Structure 1
Amino acid sequence: MDIRDLDRRAGAVLGEVIAQVRPEQLWFPTPCPDWTVRGLLRHIVSENEGFAAAATNGSAPTQTWTGGRLGDNPHGAYRRSNVKLADAFADGGALDRTMEVREFGLYPRRIALTFHQLGCVVHAWDLARAIDVPYDPPLDLVELTLGLARRIPDTDASRGPGAAFERSVKVRGDASDFETLLGLLGRNPDWVSPLD
């Protein structure tokens, strides 16, 4: 299994949701506290650019991880950032070289890609829920990201305001693997927009 192929698939799944965002929806709230649809799209583009720069250079300044620009075409900005990301990881022989992943620390590039996949799978749900479109992530991507989510510490020191994830929330006993993943990352699988 080539981790880059999985990452491209995760990015494509997210791209399918982003392509459905209409201009009037950019100010809709999302399940991510403090982020509108536009803010979340900007975060996604920034993350792609941050991962690409860190994969190429070993690390990237904070402004790269946070400075993504959407312009008047968020889907186009996402596509361009996704191409940068794929190009940065194209040298397969270097997947064991380390890179710094923002607040998470130093990781081999193949592990860093799993963090990126996690973001793609979950942020696709965030956006789909915010704009009220269907989203059914592939089971193998859910399985992969669920395994990673189970290893992320759930403590006040590593979760909460300003951190990458909120504290986990309880989900019902018969929750699907994907609902379990959402709960582990601090999302309520039953979230509905306050606009509904």
Structure 2
Amino acid sequence: MDATTDLRPLYQDAADQLAKLIDAVTPEQLGLPTPCEEFDVRALLSHTVGGMHRAAYIGEGGHPTDVAALVGEAADDAWPAVLGRARARMAAAWADDATLERPTAVPWGTVPGRAALGGYFMELVTHSWDLAQAVAPGTVLDEELGRVALAFAEQALPAERRGPGVPFGPVRPAPADADPTTRLAAWLGRA
């Protein structure tokens, strides 16, 4: 990823990937643990869709500390609709090309909009991997999305920048034949 990359189309592809995973989640699976240790499936869905609303809010010009829980609980069968609303808001918030260049406040500082979007893209791809591991192990995730998210993570989150206050564990080894999204998960301390 370079300073001119427009991640909006890939973000929408990542949201499509998440939507397919969510469509397959059964109510019985909502309490399953995920590789993101602090979340079961239900909490992971709330966090991930909430992250999409937060990304939309900052795309609209808001500050990330202005919002807390953006989704909360949803009915067991409502997650596809909840995601649909977040996706529509996200697309509208980032539709203007100027949003990519505007200084944007995010939890990790103030960065150009495209870098902020990169962080939320990485999060979306990573949490899709978390969800797939919990409810559909063996699911093949989009390799291009994984490659781009991994490149962003390696650039934005060097291995030596882990520890207190950083929500990612130490880099873990990934199998030599791991797909890009599994390598991303390992880079972020999972797998």
- Determine if the TM-score, normalized by the shorter chain, exceeds 0.5: yes
Gaps of 5+ in 1: 189-196
SS at the partner of 1:128? helix
SS at the partner of 1:61? helix
SS at the partner of 2:60? helix
Question: What residue identity is the alignment partner of 2:184?
Answer: L
Gaps of 5+ in 2: none
Question: What residue identity is the alignment partner of 2:57?
Answer: A
Q: Which of residues 98, 101, 105 is equivalent to 1:100?
A: 105
Question: Relative to structure 2, which stretch is displaced further, 129-138 or 42-51?
Answer: 129-138
User: Superposed, which structure 2 residues align to 1:41-60 within 5 Å?
Assistant: 41-60=45-64
Q: Which of residues 151, 154, 157 is equivalent to 1:147?
A: 151
The residue that corresponds to 1:192 in the other structure is none
**Count of equivalent residues:** 184
- Report the Cα distance in structure 1 between the residues aligned to 2:62 and 2:112, rounded to whole angstroms: 10
2:6–2:114 CA contact under 8 A, matched in 1:
no
Q: Which of residues 66, 69, 81 is equivalent to 2:69?
A: 66
2:21–2:128 CA contact under 8 A, matched in 1:
yes
CA-to-partner distance for each residue in 1:150-174, whole Å, 9 max, x for gaps?
A: 120334x6446x6432221122344
Q: Which of residues 78, 82, 93 is equivalent to 1:77?
A: 82
Question: What residue identity is the alignment partner of 1:83?
Answer: A
- Report the Cα distance in structure 1 between the residues aligned to 2:142 and 2:102, rounded to whole angstroms: 28
- Report the Cα distance in structure 2 between the residues aligned to 1:16 and 1:179, rounded to whole angstroms: 18
- Report the Cα distance in structure 2 between the residues aligned to 1:105 and 1:135, rounded to whole angstroms: 34
SS at the partner of 1:106? strand
| TM-score (normalised: structure 2) | 0.86
Across the aligned residues of Structure 1 and Structure 2, the Cα RMSD in angstroms comes to 2.1
Identity %: 30
- Report the Cα distance in structure 2 between the residues aligned to 1:23 and 1:11, rounded to whole angstroms: 21
The alpha-carbon deviation at position 13 of structure 1 amounts to: 0.8
Q: Which runs of 4+ in 1 moved over 4 A?
A: none
1:69–1:77 CA contact under 8 A, matched in 2:
no
| TM-score (normalised: structure 1) | 0.84
The residue that corresponds to 1:165 in the other structure is 168
- Report the Cα distance in structure 2 between the residues aligned to 1:12 and 1:181, rounded to whole angstroms: 19
